[in-house]
Amino acid sequence: MRNWKLTTACLVFVSGSLAPAQGTFQNLDFESPNVANLTNLFVAFSDAFPGWTGYVGTNQATGAGYNFISGGAALTSLVTPTAPGGGGAVVINGNYSAALVTGETGPVGGTIVPVAIAQTALIPISARSLRFSASANVNYLVVMFSCVTVPFSAVGVGPNYTIYAGDIQPFAGLTGELRFTEQAASFGPGLILDDIQFSNISIPEPNVTSLAVLAALLLGWPFFRRRRR
């Protein structure tokens, strides 16, 4: 398989004072889809994820999955608790979570490519950390703001997910692209993502609690340990 390198379109920072009010981030918890248009297994990306742009490899995604998780194709899906076959158990909070699954874009045995979701808007001036909840193959996740990687670490745990936080303070008050990319690997890793938010609380220093969270992560969550076809 060909190795894919992470690529993004770099955007120039703009002063927050110049950004219009509607430039702030939206639908960060994925709870605002165009419900009336979610009638098939495959739907328009803009209906499943308003405010976001999806990518498959380096190409912009026009479609998304609805209420199922891809088993081989590179796809971002919107999943609900009622997903068939027990798939709804992966939902982290509310009525919807996003599933980013790397995979093939063509025939079986083809190249495995990364998937990403991105949004360009203004980070609140009061923001000190970027927080989100995720599960499955988080080790393949890269978070970037305007082409700058935002390192993150575990700060808490939930019933079926871990809460992560990264230092976003250097970008507070700036406009740029926030991008979550699940990188490609031979087994086609996948990620469940939800509850993205900007917090005025700084990320905590490493302590016994955070080390315990990291230890728990080593146990892994086998949902995405699926065999390649």
Domain ranges of the chain: 14-123+137-152+169-195
Q: Which long-range contacts (CB under 8 A, 24 or more apart) does 41-49 make?
A: 41/65, 41/66, 41/67, 41/68, 42/66, 43/78, 45/76, 48/76, 48/77, 48/78, 49/76, 49/78, 49/98, 49/117
Residue 109 confidence (pLDDT):
65
The partner residues of 198 in beta bridges, in order of sequence, read: 130
Listed as ranges, residues in the chain with pLDDT below 70 are: 1-23, 106-109, 205-229
CA of residue 178 relative to chain centroid, distance: 10
Strand locations in the chain (E): 14-15, 42-44, 53-56, 59-61, 63-66, 75-79, 97-101, 103-104, 112-113, 115-122, 129-136, 141-145, 148-149, 152-157, 162-167, 174-182, 190-199
Q: Is 54 exposed, middle or buried (0-12, 13-18, 19+ CB in 10 A)?
A: buried
Residue 217 confidence (pLDDT):
47
Q: pTM of the predicted model, to two decimals?
A: 0.83
Residue 74 confidence (pLDDT):
96
